[in-house]
Every structure is written in C-alpha cells, then in structure tokens.
Amino acid sequence: MRSEVNGLVVSIVSHGHGEQVRALLHQLAALSSVDRVVLTLNQAEPELADALEADGQARPWPFELVVHQNLSSQGFGANHNQAWRLYARLHAQDHGLAPEAGCFAVVNPDIALREDPFAPLRARLARDPALGCVCPVQVDETGARQDFARRLPTPGSIARRVGWSVSRRLGWTHAPQAPGQVAPGEAPDWVNAAFWLVRAQAWQATGGFDPNYFMYGEDVDWCLRLQLAGWGLAVEPSAQVVHVAQRNSRRNARHLRWHLSSLWQLWQSPAYRDFKAQRAGR
C-alpha cells in the first residue's frame, strides 16, 4: 500500500442546503490544503449557483470549484460516486493518469469548521500507510461530542439502542453512552459519512459507495468493505468539526422506513456477514 497523501478534493452534495453550503465553502477557502471542490446540486438551486458565481468574481476561490447540477435526484452514495468519477476524469486530463495518490473527502453540507481539520487528518494518513480512512471528532454546536463512531450494528444492538433512547426520555436511565457507541480512543467498526478523509487508493479499492443503499446504510457498508479490503479506519482525536445533525429518521416516518429498510439490506449483505465472521475470528 502506498502512502502518498498529496492533493485533496472535497465532495459536497447539496439537497437545497443553500446558505449552509455557501458558508462551508468560505470556511474551506480560508484553508490552504484544498485543491478542488466538487459541489453536486441534487436539486435546482439557482440562487446558490448565482451567489457562488458572484462570490468567485468578487474574490476568486483559492481552489478549483466544480459545480455539477443533477438532471434528476440521486441518493447519497450515488452522488459522491459521481463526484469521484468527475474528479478522476479531471485529474486524468490534468496529469494523464488516475488519481492513485491524494485524498478524497466526503463532507456533509451541514458541517461547520472552527479550525482546520485537514492538517491533522492528512498527517495521520502520512504516519500510517495502512489507514484508508480517517475521520475527525464530530461535536454539536455546544461542543458536545456526538454519537458518530460505532460498533457493528446488529439486530440486538439496535434493539438495545431503542430501549436506551426510550428509557432516557422517560428518565429511567441516565447512562450517557448509547449501546454500540464507541468511546474516545476505541477503534470504531464504522463512522458516519458526515466527514471522511479517504486515501484515493482506498476509495478505488472499495469501488466507492454501494448505490443500492438509499439515504442510510451506505456508510456502514463502505466502512466494512474498506476494512475487509485490508485498510484501516480511525478517528483522529486532534481534528474536530461541528455537525448540525438532523436525525430525520427520529422524526419522519418515511426516513424511518428508509432507515429500517437499509438496515435489513445491510444484514443480508456479504460485507456484513464477512466482517462479522472476521471479527469473531480475531
């Protein structure tokens, strides 16, 4: 496994996130580490497109900003896979070769940067050539650590999480950590895809997200396949981002159905079966 981490492309997908995306781009512009941003508009956002063009004319973006407008809406994974293909094509045009070196960052539009997370993340990748993906600590707007890194979700662990959540709301338990949540310093089985920094070779090795997942589950599946391919997954404690998480599946019946359907799909998948068997054999 090669260890180059030069070159950084950031993939952001907007589903009508407008001002959040604009704010995030300006935060990225304040950094010196980003080479290219691929922004996918999953729905028509003419006001955002106009604002970004005006921003770029007033003060040129310090990175190449590629804005792609989808003709029809796609799922989370399909959009980021599309961004990777676009990046790979542009990279080949620029350099005449596939992007074997460098990093691909998957970043949610509801991420806010109070500091540069890329410097410690890239340093971690440079130190450990076996790492395929490294993630910052996610906190909420108050600075509290979020539940973003977890162990393998099983039917039993999901049932325990639901019971814990109900008990917390009713005041029956005050346990601060949900079942399946990874404590600081513990190695996670998966990390939600709100912010990943992925080595280009590792992304190519996995083939990206499985587009058969819709909205939920694709991040779990990808993390399992990453590790089955021999790459490591880690959280870097010195890097931090703010994630304004929506938790739609807790409030929206349609999102809850999508979430449950994706979990069922995950539990039937070869990646889940193989990862569970591999972990049992450690």
Residue 3: inside a domain: no
What would the pLDDT profile of 79-101 be if each residue is shown by its tens digit?
Answer: 999 999 998 888 778 766 666 77
Residue 217: inside a domain: yes
Contact 134, 121 (CB under 8 A): yes
Residue 1: inside a domain: no
pTM, two decimals, is 0.88
Residue 30: inside a domain: yes
Average pLDDT of the segment spanning 110-130: 97
Residue 203: inside a domain: yes
Question: Is the confidence at residue 137, as pLDDT, over 90?
Answer: yes
Q: Which two tokens stand for residue 204?
A: 């190519």
Best-predicted range by mean pLDDT (97-106, 160-169, 175-184): 97-106
Question: What is the chain's mean pLDDT, rounded?
Answer: 87
**DSSP code of 238?**
E
Question: Is the confidence at residue 31, as pLDDT, over 50?
Answer: yes
Distance CA 261, CA 258 (A): 5
Please tell me whether residue 24 adopts helix, strand or coil conformation: helix
Average pLDDT of the segment spanning 194-198: 98
Distance CA 178, CA 162 (A): 9
Question: What residue type is 257 in one-letter code?
Answer: R
Residue 80: inside a domain: yes
Specify which residues 137 forms β-bridges with. 240
Q: Which one is predicted more confidently, 169 or 260?
A: 260
Sign of CA dihedral 265, 271, 277, 282: negative
- Which CATH number do you get for residue 56? 3.90.550.60
Contact 262, 161 (CB under 8 A): no
Residue 2: inside a domain: no
Domain count, the chain: 1
Phi, psi of 250 (to 5 degrees): -85, -15
Distance CA 73, CA 130 (A): 35
pLDDT at 135: 98
pLDDT at 188: 96
Of 78-92, 158-172, 215-229, 237-251, which gets the smallest average pLDDT?
158-172
Question: Is the confidence at residue 133, as pLDDT, over 50?
Answer: yes
Phi, psi of 172 (to 5 degrees): -85, -20
Domain extent at residue 44: 8-280
Report residue 280's pLDDT band, with 50, 70 and 90 as the boundaries: confident
Cα–Cα–Cα angle for 211, 212, 218, nearest 5°?
Answer: 65
pLDDT at 96: 67
pLDDT at 136: 98
Contacts with 85 (C-beta within 8 Å, 6 or more apart), sequence order = none
Please tell me whether residue 116 adopts helix, strand or coil conformation: coil
Q: How many residues does the chain have?
A: 282
86 burial (CB, 10 Å; 0-12 / 13-18 / 19+) is middle
Residue 125: inside a domain: yes
Average pLDDT of the segment spanning 57-85: 95
